[in-house]
Amino acid sequence: MSITEIQMLFKFIGGLGMFLYGMDAMADGLQKSAGHKMQQLLGFLTSNRLMGVLLGTGITAIIQSSSATTVMVVGFVNAGIINLGQAVGIIMGANIGTTVTSWIVSMSEWGEMLKPEFFAPALVGVGAVLSLFTGSGKKKQIGEILVGFGVLFIGLSFMSDSITPYRNAPIFSQAFSVLGKNPFLGILAGLVVTGIIQSSSASVGILQTLALNGIVNWQSAIYITLGQNIGTCVTALLSSVGANKTAKRAAVIHLLFNVTGAVIFGCIMFVMFRLNPVFAASRISSVGISIFHTIFNVSNTVILFPFAGLLVKASGILVHEDKKEAPMDTDGQMKRHLDERILETPSFAIENVNHEVVNMGYAAMENLDLAAAALLGSNKTEAELVEKMEQKINNYEKILIDYLVKINNQSLNEEQHLLVKNLFYTVSDFERVSDHCENLSELAVEKANRNIVFSKEAENEIKEMIKEVRASLEHAIKARETSDMSEVRAVVQCEERVDSLEEELRERHIERLSAQTCKPENGVIFLDALSNLERISDHAHNIAGYVRDEM
C-alpha cells in the first residue's frame, strides 16, 4: 500500500469520525435547545396511536437517532409508563424521523451553495464563537448545533474526497453489482454495517457518500437501505436484555415492523428491477437514496398502521409472557420506573424522576400523618409504622440521588441543570421531613412510657399546628408536581402562619407553666413537638422556593 493510499484511508477514517461526531454534537445541541418542549411531549404518551407516530417522528428528528428513540421506548415500557399499543405508534414515527439525517446529507446535491466545502467552515467558525464567547445559554446551544452541522459536512467532504480517486476502481463496481443482483447479500450488508456502528442514520450517510461519487447503482442501494432499516433494530434488542417481557416485546415489535416493511418493499423492488434492468444498473444519487428512504418509511407506516394490533399479538407469540409476575415492593417499583434507557433523552428522564420525587413527598406526608396520630394518641403501634416509613423514605433517597447523578452526567442545558440541582435539594428536604416525623414518633413513645397526658388546650394547639404544617407540606408537594405559582404562594402564607403560631403557642405554654396548670415534663415534649413541626414547615418552604427559582 502506497503512502497516498494510506493517506486516503486515514482521510476516510477521519471523515467518518467527524461525520459521527458532528451528528452527535448537532443532536446534542438540538436536544438541549428543545429541552422544555421535549418534556411537554411526555404528555402525548398517553394519547392515541396517531399522536404516538407524530411524537416518535418529532423526537427522532431532534435526537437524530431512531435507535435512541426506540431504546427510550423500551425503557418507558419497562417502567410501565406506556403500554405496547402506544409504543407501536412511537416506533413507527421513529422510522420516519430518521429520514431527516439522510436529507441533511444529500444537501450538497441541492445546489452549489449547499455543498459542504462552501459553507461548513463558516458554520464551524460562527458556532465556535457563539459557544465560546457568549454568556447566553440559548446562543451556546445554537453554537453547538452549528458546529455539529459544520463538522458533519466537513466529515462528509473528507469521506467523499478520499473515495474520489477510486470511483472508477473495478472493486466498487463489482461489489455493488454483486450486492444488487443478490437481494439477500445487499440486505445482509446493510444490516451488518448498521448493527456494528449502531446507527442507521450514519450507515445511510456512508452509503450516500459513496453515491455522491457515482459508484452505487439503484438496486444495490435499495437492498442495502432495506438492510440498514433492519440493522437499526439491533440496538433496541440489545437494550431489552435484562428488561421485563413487555419491554422485550417492544423491541421485537420494532424488528417485526422493519422486517415486514423490508420484505414488502424488497419484493416490489425486485420485480421492478427485473422488468427494468437498465434502471436497476443505473447510478443513484444521494438525493435518490433520501427519496427512497423517506418513501419506504412513510409508506411502511401507512401500510402497517392499521395492523398495529397484530404486531403486538405477534410479539406476544415470539416473547411468551410469564403466567405470574412476582410482586414488586415499592423500592423495586421505583427502580423500575427510573429506567436507565430513558436517560437516552434527559428531558424525559428529568420529567420521570420529578414524578418519583413527588411520590416521595406524598410518602413523607403520609409519615407526618402517622407521626401526628402517634403523638396525639400516645400510640406505640403508629410510632412503629413511622419507623418503617422512615426506612422506606431513606431508600427512596438513595435510589433518587443515584438516578439524579446519572442524569446530571448527561448533556443538559442551563434550565435542566438548575432543575436537577433543585431535585437533589428537594429529595434531601423530603428526607429531613421524614426525620422530623421520626422525632415526633420518639416523643410519642416517650409520652406513652411516662403516661404524659396533654391538657385539652395543649392538645388543641398541637392539632392546630399539625393542620397548618400539613397544609404547608401538601402545597409544597403540589408546587413541585405542577410548577404552579399559586401553590408556591400558598406555602409562603402557611409558613408565615406556622412561624406566628409557634411563637404564640410557646408564649401560651409559658403562661401555663407560670400558672402551674402544666407540668414541666409535659412541657418538654410539647415544645419539642412544636419545634419539629415548625422545621417540617421550613423544609416545605425550601421546596416551594426551588420551584419559584425555576420560573
Residue 402 lies in a domain: yes
Model pLDDT for residues 155-208, shown as the tens digit of each residue: 777 777 776 666 566 665 566 667 767 888 888 888 888 888 777 777 888 888
Per-residue pLDDT, 330: 60
Proportion of the chain above pLDDT 70, given as a percent = 86
pLDDT band at 340 (very low <50, low <70, confident <90, very high): confident
355 and 288 within one domain:
no
Residue 280 lies in a domain: yes
Per-residue pLDDT, 424: 94
Backbone angles phi, psi at 462, to 5 degrees: -60, -40
Grid coordinates given for 230? 433492519
Residue 324 lies in a domain: no
Q: pLDDT at residue 92 above 70?
A: yes
CATH code of the domain in which 446 resides: 1.20.58.220
Backbone angles phi, psi at 394, to 5 degrees: -60, -40
Query: DSSP code of 282?
Result: S
Q: pLDDT at residue 246 above 90?
A: no
- The parent domain of residue 466 ranges over 331-549
The C-alpha atoms of residue 177 and residue 156 are separated, in whole angstroms, by 24
Are 42 and 172 a contacting pair, CB within 8 Å? no
The C-alpha atoms of residue 545 and residue 551 are separated, in whole angstroms, by 10
Are 216 and 160 a contacting pair, CB within 8 Å? no
For residues 428 and 28, which has the higher predicted lDDT (pLDDT)? 428
**Cα-to-chain-centroid distance, residue 158:** 33
For residue 283, the cross-strand partners are 217
366 and 245 within one domain:
no
Model pLDDT for residues 44-69, shown as the tens digit of each residue: 555 577 888 888 888 788 776 777 78
pLDDT band at 477 (very low <50, low <70, confident <90, very high): very high
For residues 498 and 326, which has the higher predicted lDDT (pLDDT)? 498
For residues 387 and 65, which has the higher predicted lDDT (pLDDT)? 387
Residue 326 lies in a domain: no
Q: What is the 3-state secondary structure (H, E, C) of 419-441?
A: HHHHHHHHHHHHHHHHHHHHHHH
Mean pLDDT (whole number) for 400-427:
90
CA nearest 463: which of 528, 376, 537, 385? 376
Q: pLDDT at residue 289 above 80?
A: yes
Residue 523 lies in a domain: yes
335 and 284 within one domain:
no
243 and 310 within one domain:
yes
For residues 32 and 385, which has the higher predicted lDDT (pLDDT)? 385
Query: What mean pLDDT, rounded, does the chain reach?
Result: 83
Which of residues 284, 318, 352 is at a domain's end? Answer: 318
The C-alpha atoms of residue 422 and residue 414 are separated, in whole angstroms, by 12
Which of residues 262, 290, 318 is at a domain's end? Answer: 318
Per-residue pLDDT, 537: 94
Which of residues 254, 286, 318 is at a domain's end? Answer: 318
Q: pLDDT at residue 515 above 80?
A: no
- Which of 83-92, 199-208, 432-441 shows the highest mean pLDDT? 432-441
Residue 140 lies in a domain: yes
Q: pLDDT at residue 318 above 60?
A: yes
CA nearest 538: which of 506, 509, 504, 502? 502
| Number of domains composing the chain | 2
Residue 323 lies in a domain: no
> Alpha helices, DSSP H only, in 42-136?
49-63, 66-79, 84-97, 99-105, 116-133
Model pLDDT for residues 518-532, shown as the tens digit of each residue: 666 666 788 888 899
- Which of 141-145, 194-198, 488-492 shows the highest mean pLDDT? 488-492
Q: Three-state DSSP class for 453?
A: coil
Per-residue pLDDT, 533: 93
What's the predicted TM-score (pTM) here? 0.76
380 and 233 within one domain:
no
CA nearest 462: which of 392, 518, 386, 542? 518
396 and 301 within one domain:
no
The C-alpha atoms of residue 232 and residue 99 are separated, in whole angstroms, by 13
532 and 413 within one domain:
yes
What are the percentages of helix, strand and coil residues in the chain, rounded to 5? 85, 0, 15
The C-alpha atoms of residue 303 and residue 314 are separated, in whole angstroms, by 17
156 and 277 within one domain:
yes
Model pLDDT for residues 115-131, shown as the tens digit of each residue: 666 777 888 888 888 88
Grid coordinates given for 166? 477510486
448 and 482 within one domain:
yes
Model pLDDT for residues 276-286, shown as the tens digit of each residue: 989 988 988 88
Query: DSSP code of 108?
Result: G
Grid coordinates given for 225? 437501505
- Which of 9-18, 262-271, 320-329, 344-353 shows the highest mean pLDDT? 262-271
CA nearest 281: which of 177, 158, 423? 177
Per-residue pLDDT, 117: 66
288 and 381 within one domain:
no
Grid coordinates given for 516? 402551674
Q: pLDDT at residue 404 above 60?
A: yes
**Cα-to-chain-centroid distance, residue 464:** 43
Per-residue pLDDT, 519: 66
Strand stretches in 381-442, DSSP E:
none
Q: pLDDT at residue 426 above 90?
A: yes
230 and 335 within one domain:
no
Residue 325 lies in a domain: no
335 and 314 within one domain:
no
Mean pLDDT (whole number) for 247-270:
91
Are 357 and 480 a contacting pair, CB within 8 Å? yes
